[in-house]
Amino acid sequence: MKTLTAIGFISILGLTLTTAANANEVPETVMQEVYREVQTPYKYGVVLKPEEGKMLDGPNVFRFGDAWYMMYIMFDKNGYETYLAKSADLLHWEPQGKILPYGASHTWDCWQADGGPSLFTVEWGGANTIQQFDGKYWMTYLGGYKKGYETDPLAIGVAWTKDPTKIGPWTRYNRNPVLAPWHEDARVFERTTLYKSYVVWDRDETLGAPFVIFYNGKSKFPDGRNRGECIGMAISKDMLNWTRYGEDSVVTNGDPEKSLGISGDPMVVKIGKVWVMFYFGAFWEPKNGSAFDTFACSYDLAHWTKWKGEPLIRPSEPWDKQYAHKPWVIRHNGVTYHWYCAVGDQGRVLALATSRDMRGQ
């Protein structure tokens, strides 16, 4: 594994800053600069609502051709399925249809199919597209064989398509899940359920392989209480065969003796020389509300320094008064866009916050 081993200089956001003596730790000065770059203080409001009696979750936005697309999930009292919406301006969205339905009867993913795009371009403010590998566009998804809202156990599967804008089922990898809590090499933090995943294409192969997947996993204490959710990682050379990386999680918050709460739904980009992981926290920082969005930074994808300041998003409006969480953050034409799942007086919906006031547009 390649790591930085000496004091050096990096250039981020137009400034030259000295790295810490511990090359695995991102200095506070850099963390502050990242925060100023990615903060989104203006809440635009709700951008997508579900049909009556259903709930939306997990916005994932990318550009394809001359339009913007959002992969998202809908819960219908049985489980999750994945849908696609389209936009010309990142503000107004029109649902297009379903792209990952429930799996076939009696399969490992017959009642849960929560997908998100893989291989999103990592350069901050860049193309904001998804990349092809082996002639295909890829997604990883949370799957399960039990009905209900995120009913344990859940695992991670893989699917692909030739056209990510086409409405219709993506092709599933017709084997057991690629990562599961019951696998022999599952670590302590992930032995009950695996949740949302995000795959980075690291062309430098910093960790020894081009594809790095981040995901949150859950485990339990010996007495059956939930231990909480933490973010871990695995690597792959072909998007299908994955090797868990490291002996434990890489982002953890909360009290390990009581409950870790939730650190989940990672999304990773690169700003200058710094990797930035957006993720949500829940139930471990009461002053920020029940659920909120924050970030961590890294130089090598394996060691992460957590932001300890104000969250990027937290409950503040009627539509997100309960939860404001599950981030997807991009930079486009000088504006930072932050989509998230909002839970409040309109149910579970998808909302947007921005770095510049976009209301009225």
Q: In this structure, is residue 123 part of a structural domain?
A: yes
CATH code, domain with 141 = 2.115.10.20
pTM for the model stands at: 0.93
- Which amino acid makes up residue 326? K
Which two tokens mark 56?
């939306």
Looking from the CA of 274 toward its CB, the CA atoms found within 13 Å total 35
Q: In this structure, is residue 221 part of a structural domain?
A: yes
Strand partners, 56: 74
Q: Dihedral of CA 268/123/2/11: which sign?
A: negative
Q: Which residue shows structure tokens 């301006």? A: 89
Domain of 113, in residue numbers? 9-354
The alpha carbon of 269 is separated from its chain's Cα centroid by a whole number of angstroms, namely 11
**Residues whose CB is less than 8 angstroms from the CB of residue 257 and which lie 6 or more positions away in sequence, other chains included:** none
Q: In this structure, is residue 3 part of a structural domain?
A: no
Q: In this structure, is residue 4 part of a structural domain?
A: no
Q: In this structure, is residue 360 part of a structural domain?
A: no
Q: In this structure, is residue 100 part of a structural domain?
A: yes
The alpha carbon of 272 is separated from its chain's Cα centroid by a whole number of angstroms, namely 20
Element (H, E) at 235: strand 226-236
Nearest-10 Cα torsion for 182, 83, 93, 119: 50
Domain count, the chain: 1
Which two tokens mark 201?
């294409």
pLDDT at 23: 74
pLDDT at 224: 85
How does pLDDT run across 15-34, given as a tens digit for each residue?
Answer: 434 444 567 899 999 999 99
Q: Indicate the DSSP class of residue 223.
A: T
Count of residues in the chain: 361
Q: Could you give the CA distance from residue 182 to residue 295 in angstroms, rounded to a whole number? A: 29
- Which amino acid makes up residue 100? L
Q: In this structure, is residue 268 part of a structural domain?
A: yes
Spans in the chain with pLDDT lower than 50: 1-20
Q: In this structure, is residue 361 part of a structural domain?
A: no
**Residues whose CB is less than 8 angstroms from the CB of residue 245 and which lie 6 or more positions away in sequence, other chains included:** 207, 212, 232, 233, 234, 235, 302
CB atoms within 10 A of CB 183: 17
Judge residue 230's burial from the number of C-beta atoms within 10 Å of its C-beta, 0-12 exposed, 13-18 middle, 19 or more buried: buried
Nearest-10 Cα torsion for 138, 214, 59, 26: -130
pLDDT at 225: 86
